[in-house]
């Protein structure tokens, strides 16, 4: 008779090499776009691929704006979120409650609604030192996306800090570290490793959300693609053009997702 | 001579649970005091009250002239004088052994790096960890980590050291290397307050042994007396289970 015993944990067998799978994805996408293009191109004046190729430079500048929006929103959102997250673990109850509320509010709001809210709430022009500056649409949209990023980073920070063993605080305290020194020298350095994967994940979600800005008229890749389609007035271009846009986002996001997974796996080994 | 650490009638509750109900003890300079007792008897909490990691509700504690129980205590001034070593070592895993030892004197005491480094290296050598200066805590055994933790506390040049069941999480074979280190420290005249389950160690090294149960000190005395002729029934029962 065999006794019921717990089998030791075995890691899953390694899957195919990353490059192979990446290639597979790319091949699939190209086939998808080209296939759709072929099926829909009749005796049209210009081949579909040529039509897309013509618009690539313009739409690329739009994609550049998507990246710019995401980088600014992520950068500013991270700085604000770090501060807000640290406020969430403050010893002062009003600070703690206030920052908790802000975090919850912006974390549980639809991004699109926040975007609309900021587009209409923020001023169209500001006067600095007697000079009036237009606030471009894309900048207001960026601010709208910064708010949810801030709230999510705030939660990532709070979670990471609270996931550290209490003994780390006690050890630092008993060595006469102040609370600030403890945070800065002991707690946060250990948190960075824990925060990195969720933070990168958040960035991937953010860049994928930037086309939302097209709804409020920001001239990013999505808006420009729609504009190009309007200019072409060719039904057979619809699917290939949007397919190409999907491909561009995929090419940008997928390496980030892989890197996140890689970091997560490495952290799991070390913990 | 006034005691270096004086604990008078300390009370502490966590919610509904009373952990300390009136404990008093004194530690004179250079003395080694061992507190023993069943788990949950409040001995660790008492130790944590001494460096203000836990604030008691009632009672008075003074350490080297600092009133720990004062409402406006400066905890940093207190903790410069009191070193503490924990059961779980609590080394900072992102720093090497040497950096762990050097951090507090540089950041808190603002001492000069070169001087601190020399002292830290000497302390690591003293706890027999020469060659491990650049190892990260994760690369060290439990006993080695605990000795780094001792060196880390000593580098602050405290007047009294608190040891909170420092060998309880260790393998039996590494317990000894840590106890040897503490014993050497005691022999050099360091004032030590230990919570421990190591009866043999308490018997050999302690100047005075306290037995706690359910938040009070049941019995205390010099180890020779305490271990050979315990007066209280609870002490006898506890020692009977262990010895």
Confirm whether A30 is domain-assigned: no
The Cα–Cα gap between A134 and A121 comes to 15
Residue B79 has its nearest CB partner, among A165, A174, A185, at A174
B17 CA: distance to closest CA in chain A (Å): 21
> Which residue in chain A is spatially nearest to B101 when comparing CA positions?
A175
Q: What percent of chain B has pLDDT over 70?
A: 99
Is there a domain that residue A102 lies in?
yes
Dihedral angle of Cα A222, A224, A225, A228, to the nearest 10 degrees: 160
Whole-angstrom distance, CA of residue A58 vs CA of residue A52: 11
Reading chain A (271 residues) residue by residue, the pLDDT tens digits are 445 555 666 666 555 555 566 666 666 766 666 666 555 555 556 788 888 898 999 999 999 999 999 999 999 999 999 999 999 999 999 999 999 999 999 999 999 999 999 888 888 888 888 888 888 889 999 999 999 999 999 999 999 999 999 999 999 999 999 999 999 999 999 999 889 999 999 999 999 999 999 988 889 999 999 999 999 888 888 899 999 999 999 999 999 999 998 888 887 654 4
Mean pLDDT lowest among A4-13, A108-117, B10-19, B195-204: A4-13
Minimal-distance CA residue of chain A relative to B50 = A174
pLDDT of residue B51: 92
Give the best residue of B55, B93, B105, B159 to mutate against chain A (max A CB count within 10 A): B93
3-state secondary structure of B1: coil
Q: What is the interface size between A and B, counted as CB pairs within 8 Å?
A: 56
Q: Per the domain annotation, does A212 fall within a domain?
A: yes
CA distance B24 to B227: 21
B51 to chain A, closest Cα gap in Å = 7
Q: For A270, which residue in chain B has the nearest alpha carbon?
A: B138
Report the gap between the CA of B164 and the closest CA in chain A (Å): 12
What is the per-residue pLDDT for B138? 93
Alpha-carbon span B38 to B214, nearest angstrom: 9
Residue A15 covered by a domain: no
Residues in A closer than 8 angstroms to B108, CB to CB, are 175-178, 181
Which one of B53, B138, B156 has the shortest CB-CB distance to A170? Answer: B53
Q: What is the pLDDT of residue A13?
A: 59
Residues of chain A whose beta carbon is less than 8 angstroms from a beta carbon of chain B are 165, 167-168, 170-178, 181, 185-186, 189-190, 270
Task: Judge if ipTM > 0.95.
Answer: no
Question: How far is residue B185's CA from residue B126's CA, in Å, rounded to a whole number?
Answer: 10
Cβ contact, residue pair A181, B108, below 8 Å: yes
Strands ordered across the beta sheet of B66-67: B17-27, B5-14, B58-63, B66-67
Q: How many domains does chain A contain in total?
A: 1
What is the 8-class DSSP label of residue B189?
T
Q: Which residues of B touch A269 (CB under 8 A)?
A: none
Residues 6+ apart with CB under 8 A from A123: A135
Contacts of A173 in chain B (CB under 8 A): 53, 75, 79
Structure tokens at B135: 């190892």
The C-alpha atoms of residue B48 and residue B54 are separated, in whole angstroms, by 5
pLDDT over 90 (residue B24): yes
State the nearest Cα–Cα gap between A150 and chain B, in angstroms: 27
Residue A255 domain-assigned (yes or no): yes
Boundaries of every domain in chain B: 5-91+158-242
Other CB atoms within 10 Å distance of the CB of residue B241: 8
pLDDT in tens, B218-235: 999 999 999 988 888 889
Report the DSSP beta bridge partners of residue B216.
B213
Distance between CA B48 and CA B60 in Å, rounded? Answer: 14
Structure tokens at B140: 């060290």
Taken in order B127, B130, B134, B136, the sign of the CA dihedral is negative
Among the partner-chain residues B51, B76, B86, the one whose CB lies closest to the CB of A167 is: B86
Q: For residue A77, tell me if it sits in a domain.
A: yes
DSSP code at position A183: I
Distance between CA atoms of B88 and A146, rounded to whole angstroms? 41
Chain B interface disruption, residue of A160, A166, A171, most B CBs within 10 A: A171
State whether A173 and B53 contact (CB < 8 Å).
yes
Torsion of CA A80, A85, A90, A94, to 10 degrees: 70
Q: Are B45 and B97 in contact (CB under 8 A)?
A: no
Give B94's contacts in chain A (Cβ within 8 Å).
Answer: 189-190
CB contact under 8 A, A167 and B88: yes
Instruction: Say yes or no for a CB contact (<8 Å) between B86 and A186.
Output: no
- Nearest by CB: B90 against A167, A185, A270: A167
Q: Judge residue B169's burial from the number of C-beta atoms within 10 Å of its C-beta, 0-12 exposed, 13-18 middle, 19 or more buried.
A: middle
- Provide the domain limits for residue A234: 47-267
Q: In 3-state terms, chain B is what percent helix, strand and coil (to 5)?
A: 40, 25, 35
Nearest CA in chain A to B151: A175
Other Cβ atoms within 10 Å of A270 Cβ, number = 8
pLDDT, mean over chain B: 92
Which contacts qualify for A227-235: CB closer than 8 Å, 24 or more apart? A228/A55, A228/A58, A228/A59, A232/A51, A234/A44, A234/A51, A235/A40
- For domain B5-91+158-242, the CATH class is alpha beta
Sign of CA dihedral A159, A165, A168, A174: positive
Residue A28 lies in a domain: no
- Rounded distance between C-alpha atoms, residue B133 and residue B100, angstroms: 10
Chain B CB contacts of A271 under 8 Å are none
Which of A165, A173, A190 is nearest residue B94 as measured by Cβ atoms?
A190
Does a structural domain hold residue A241? yes
For residue A168, give the nearest of B90, B103, B153 by CB distance: B90
CB contact under 8 A, A190 and B93: yes
Rg of chain B over Cα atoms, rounded to whole angstroms, equals 18
Domain containing residue A188: CATH number: 1.10.3720.10
**Does B164 score more than 90 pLDDT?**
yes
Residue A185: closest CA among chain B residues belongs to which residue?
B103
> Are the C-beta atoms of residues B101 and B132 closer than 8 Å to each other?
no
User: Would you list which residues of chain B are within 8 Å, Cβ to Cβ, of chain A?
Assistant: 51, 53, 75-76, 79-80, 82-84, 86, 88, 90-94, 103-104, 107-109, 138, 149, 152-153, 156
How close, in Å, is residue A270 to chain B by CA atoms?
A: 9
Confidence at B6, pLDDT banded by 50, 70, 90: very high
Segments in A41-165 forming alpha helices (H): 48-88, 93-107, 111-121, 137-163
CA A147, A149, A150: angle at the middle one, nearest 5? 65
Residue A213, judged by CB atoms within 10 A of its CB (0-12, 13-18, 19+), counts as buried
Q: Give yes or no for a contact between A111 and A145, defined as CB atoms under 8 angstroms apart.
A: yes
Q: What pLDDT, on a 0 to 100 scale, did the predictor assign at position A225?
A: 93
B40 phi-psi bin (left φ>0, alpha ψ -120 to 50, beta other): left
Sign of CA dihedral A180, A184, A185, A189: positive
Residues ≥6 apart with Cβ < 8 Å to B18: B11, B12, B215
Cβ contact, residue pair B104, A175, below 8 Å: yes
Residue of B nearest to A177 (CA): B108
pLDDT tens, position by position, B90-112? 999 999 999 999 999 999 999 99
Q: Using CA of residue B105, residue B109, residue B112, residue B115, what is the dihedral sign?
A: negative
Long-range contacts of range B231-234, CB-CB < 8 Å, 24 or more positions apart? none
Radius of gyration of chain A (CA): 24
């Amino acid at each position: 008779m065999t006794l019921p015993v717990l089998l030791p944990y075995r890691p899953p067998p390694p899957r195919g090499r990353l490059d192979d799978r990446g290639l597979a994805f790319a091949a699939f996408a190209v086939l998808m776009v080209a296939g759709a293009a072929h099926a829909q191109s009749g005796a049209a004046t210009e081949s579909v691929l040529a039509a897309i190729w013509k618009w690539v430079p313009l739409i690329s500048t739009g994609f550049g704006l998507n990246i710019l929006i995401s980088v600014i929103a992520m950068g500013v959102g991270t700085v604000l979120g770090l501060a807000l997250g640290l406020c969430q673990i403050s010893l002062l109850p009003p600070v703690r409650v206030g920052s908790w509320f802000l975090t919850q509010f912006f974390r549980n709001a639809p991004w699109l609604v926040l975007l609309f809210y900021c587009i209409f709430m923020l001023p169209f022009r500001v006067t600095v030192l007697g000079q009036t500056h237009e606030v471009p649409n894309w900048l207001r949209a960026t601010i709208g996306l910064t708010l949810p990023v801030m709230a999510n980073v705030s939660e990532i920070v709070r979670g990471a800090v609270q996931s550290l063993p209490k003994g780390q605080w006690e050890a630092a305290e008993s060595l006469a570290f102040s609370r600030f020194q403890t945070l800065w020298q002991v707690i946060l350095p250990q948190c960075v490793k824990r925060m990195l994967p969720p933070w990168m994940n958040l960035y991937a979600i953010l860049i994928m959300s930037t086309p939302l800005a097209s709804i409020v008229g920001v001239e990013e890749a999505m808006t420009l693609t729609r504009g190009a389609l309007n200019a072409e007035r060719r039904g057979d271009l619809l699917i290939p053009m949007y397919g190409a846009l999907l491909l561009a986002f995929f090419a940008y996001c997928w390496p980030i997702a892989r890197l996140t997974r890689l970091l997560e796996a490495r952290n799991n080994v070390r913990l | 001579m006034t005691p270096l650490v004086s604990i008078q009638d300390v009370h502490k509750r966590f919610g509904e649970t009373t952990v300390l109900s009136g404990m008093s003890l004194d530690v004179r300079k250079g003395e080694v005091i061992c507190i023993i007792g069943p788990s949950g008897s409040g001995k660790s909490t008492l130790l944590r009250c001494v460096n203000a990691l836990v604030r008691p509700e009632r009672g008075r504690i003074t350490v080297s002239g600092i009133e720990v129980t004062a409402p406006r205590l400066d905890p940093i001034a207190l903790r410069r004088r009191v070193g503490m070593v924990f059961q779980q070592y609590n080394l900072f895993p992102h720093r090497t052994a040497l950096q762990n030892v050097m951090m507090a004197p540089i950041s808190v005491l603002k001492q000069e790096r070169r001087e601190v480094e020399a002292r830290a290296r000497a302390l690591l050598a003293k706890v027999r960890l020469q060659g491990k200066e650049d190892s990260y805590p994760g690369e060290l055994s439990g006993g080695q980590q605990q000795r780094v933790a001792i060196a880390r506390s000593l580098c602050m040049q405290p007047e009294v050291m608190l040891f909170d069941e420092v060998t309880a999480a260790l393998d039996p074979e590494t317990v000894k290397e840590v106890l040897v280190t503490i014993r050497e420290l005691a022999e050099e005249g360091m004032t030590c307050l230990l919570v421990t389950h190591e009866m043999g160690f308490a018997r050999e090294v302690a100047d005075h042994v306290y037995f706690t149960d359910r938040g009070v000190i049941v019995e205390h005395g010099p180890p020779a007396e305490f271990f050979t002729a315990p007066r209280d029934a609870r002490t006898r029962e506890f020692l009977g289970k262990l010895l």
